[in-house]
Structure 1
Amino acid sequence: MSEPWSINWKGRLEKVWLESQALRGNPLGDPATRPVWVYLPPGYDDEPERRYPSVYVIQGMTGQVDMWANRAAFRRSYPELADQLFAGGVAPPCVLVFVDAWTSYGGSQFLDSPGTGRYHTYLCEEVVAWIDAHYRTLTAREHRGISGKSSGGYGALVTPMLRPDVFGALATHAGDALFEVCYQPEFAVVARALRDHYEGSYERFWQAFRHRPAMTKAHDAELINTYCMAACYSAEPSGAVTLPFDTSTGRLRPEVWERWLAWDPVRMASRHAGALRSLHGIYIDAGRSDEFNLDLGAEAFRLELTALGVADVRFELFDGGHSAIEYRYPLALRYLAERLQPA
């Protein structure tokens, strides 16, 4: 069976489950056993001695791994686009690893946080080790990359900075960066929504949200996104979530906002200059009309890289917004695949 329902696969997609120790007992009670999708390129089964570079693919806010199978009308899913890329010989073959880091707040930013759980550890320690043990991957960091969009783009930016021993290249599509332009504009929206609909209380919002169809009220997206980011960037050791603004006015709480800014990739770059210079490639793109101003964050991050003397950077602003940009992913995948190959 082929289009519009599927394609004639040249590689294959395996769907497995990984039981995580890092996620066991996480503060939200989310599942510790997670799905992992593994794409094996054409020829994987024909050359049993050959080993392959790997690219880890991570999702944006509210993403869960089975959403990679979703198709829009007249368009292919990303796994299908990747299969087409490799089958056509446009890029050297790689193993792709689709990682699930969903939480009941909608996401994790791929960080370890007392507010959500140990998703950075899960990705870097458990998933990578499991993949290398079960598939024929090249296990040196020079042959392992990471790619993502939006919050996944954020994860793709910060993970190699934090763990350059694990990842040797990155690609980010509209990754969260320059927090004052991508996050702060939502704070006033959230303060008003809480005041007008939930008596100023996030607890009342969550109670209402979990007892009705999700995303059916105005500002659900902003309320969820802001709270989730706070759970990742400014949770207390107890797990309590501290917001970076006064919910009655939207006025910043500088001491909490500084905790957020410490996780901004633009500001992190100078602290991790050596890690960034060690990467074998950095791919950055964003739509010029990105609704969350992530084109500005992309430009700010690129300028930081230039100032730090990071050499191998591919940067592009394209005509488009934040959504429906899956056609950009194969461009980054080809870039990574070429740089992760053995000499």
Structure 2
Amino acid sequence: MLPWNAEMSGRVDQATVVSDVLRDNPLGDPHERPLWVYVPPGYDDGTTAYPTIYVIQGYSGQVVMWGNRQPWRRTYPELLDRLIADGEAPPAIVVFADAWTRLGGSQFVDSHGHGAYHSYLCDEVVPFVDEHYRTLAGPAHRAITGKSSGGYGAMITPMLRPDLFGALATHAGDALFEVLYPREFVPAARVLREEYDGSWPNFLDRFHATGGRCPGSDLILLYGNAASYSGNPDGSVDIPFDSVGRLVPDVWSRWLEYDPVVLARSHGEALRSLHSIWIDAGKSDEYYLDLGAMAFREEVEKAGVPAENVFFELFEGTHANLEHRYLMAVKWLSRRLTPGRPL
């Protein structure tokens, strides 16, 4: 309950990963990226190797934001430390990765629109952590978690790289695109018409000139998603709706290929290889991601993932203030990642 830093039993290291795959990325964003790594109490006193849990952020998240403190509340790393120090969860190394872009995020995919952030996470961050820390370096002992866009990344990454991740937790992750996105397209078209003469370049210029303090600033999320799902080799970005909000079918079909619900249908083998899948969302999620959670769970079941490997819950809540859900998932996952630990 301290107003400043709370005393921790473990520690958080702050490192920098120099990325080759992000060098000269299309947006000119830094290729040197901050990385936070939590090590549990007792790490420095022994030779034990630990499971790892990767935590990725929602849209507009930067790794330093994990240190943001709200009044009378501990930060997430401090809450995590208390959970492990009190013996409520087995010790684990927890990695806080950064995939921010000048558009606010990357959806943790490789894209012509912003750069190779999926490759960065899988081929650079994971090896960096395994090289510098005593990890149990195998998919059975490595999980990835996140909320919202981070929950999206947590769903797709193990499907694409089951050789790295054997478990996941998604909290209100972006899914069921036909429900999530089109409802935003019509009001976006109106704002573009009224404020920016229908021009995305006009919007982007004013957004960056004002630090996001401009009408319709949340349009950056749609444009950033387009950079993720429908970027082109020349760096241009195709938008999935026209000037009156109608779907552009060929562009929209490219977006749907990235939907975790759709991906699950062609990645059944990868899903069956996962020993732990946590799916949750608030029943009153403002973006209807409770429905996305339901749809993803249905595809997981259709893929033949054993019921004992899946935790699913729709809880009383919205899209906000979900730190307690992160802790619940870490507690569940850490037991399943630790050799010899009863489930």
Deviation of residue 7 (structure 1)? Answer: 1.4
Cα pair 2:99 2:106 within 8 Å, conserved: yes
SS of corresponding position for 2:45 = coil
Alignment partners' CA distance in 1, 2:77 and 2:247: 41
Read off the aligned partner of 2:334 and give its amino acid letter: A
Aligned residue pairs: how many? Answer: 338
Structural mapping, 1:45-60, within 5 Å:
45-47=44-46, 49-60=47-58
Deviation of residue 77 (structure 1)? Answer: 1.4
Cα pair 2:195 2:215 within 8 Å, conserved: no
Counterpart position of 1:333: 330
Read off the aligned partner of 2:312 and give its amino acid letter: F
Cα pair 2:206 2:214 within 8 Å, conserved: no
Which of 163, 174, 197 is the matching residue for 1:165? 163
Counterpart position of 1:29: 28
**Do structure 1's residue 39 and structure 2's residue 38 form an aligned pair?**
yes
Cα pair 1:168 1:280 within 8 Å, conserved: yes
Cα pair 1:283 1:313 within 8 Å, conserved: yes
Residues 57-94 of structure 1 show CA distances to partners (whole Å, capped at 9, x for unaligned) of 10010000000011222222111111011001001110
Q: Which runs of 5+ in 1 are unaligned?
A: none
Deviation of residue 218 (structure 1)? Answer: 3.8
Read off the aligned partner of 1:166 and give its amino acid letter: L
Q: What percent of counterpart residues are identical?
A: 57
Q: Which runs of 5+ in 2 are unaligned?
A: none
Cα pair 2:26 2:113 within 8 Å, conserved: yes
Alignment partners' CA distance in 2, 1:100 and 1:307: 33
Alignment partners' CA distance in 2, 1:77 and 1:241: 36
SS of corresponding position for 2:245 = coil
Cα pair 1:57 1:98 within 8 Å, conserved: yes
Deviation of residue 211 (structure 1)? Answer: 1.5
Alignment partners' CA distance in 2, 1:72 and 1:193: 33
Read off the aligned partner of 1:38 and give its amino acid letter: V
Counterpart position of 1:108: 106
Read off the aligned partner of 1:235 and give its amino acid letter: G
Shift >4 Å, 4+ stretches: none
Deviation of residue 212 (structure 1)? Answer: 1.5
Alignment partners' CA distance in 1, 2:21 and 2:265: 29
Which of 59, 62, 65 is the matching residue for 1:61? 59
Read off the aligned partner of 2:337 and give its amino acid letter: L
Alignment partners' CA distance in 1, 2:74 and 2:314: 22
Alignment partners' CA distance in 1, 2:70 and 2:148: 19
Read off the aligned partner of 1:307 and give its amino acid letter: K
SS of corresponding position for 1:45 = helix
Cα pair 2:16 2:32 within 8 Å, conserved: yes
Alignment partners' CA distance in 1, 2:199 and 2:28: 22
Aligned alpha-carbon RMSD (Å): 0.9
Read off the aligned partner of 1:86 and give its amino acid letter: I
Deviation of residue 4 (structure 1)? Answer: 2.2
Deviation of residue 217 (structure 1)? Answer: 3.3
Counterpart position of 2:266: 271
Deviation of residue 270 (structure 1)? Answer: 1.3
Alignment partners' CA distance in 1, 2:293 and 2:73: 26
Cα pair 2:50 2:91 within 8 Å, conserved: yes
Counterpart position of 2:311: 314
TM-score by length of 2: 0.97
**Do structure 1's residue 288 and structure 2's residue 287 form an aligned pair?**
no
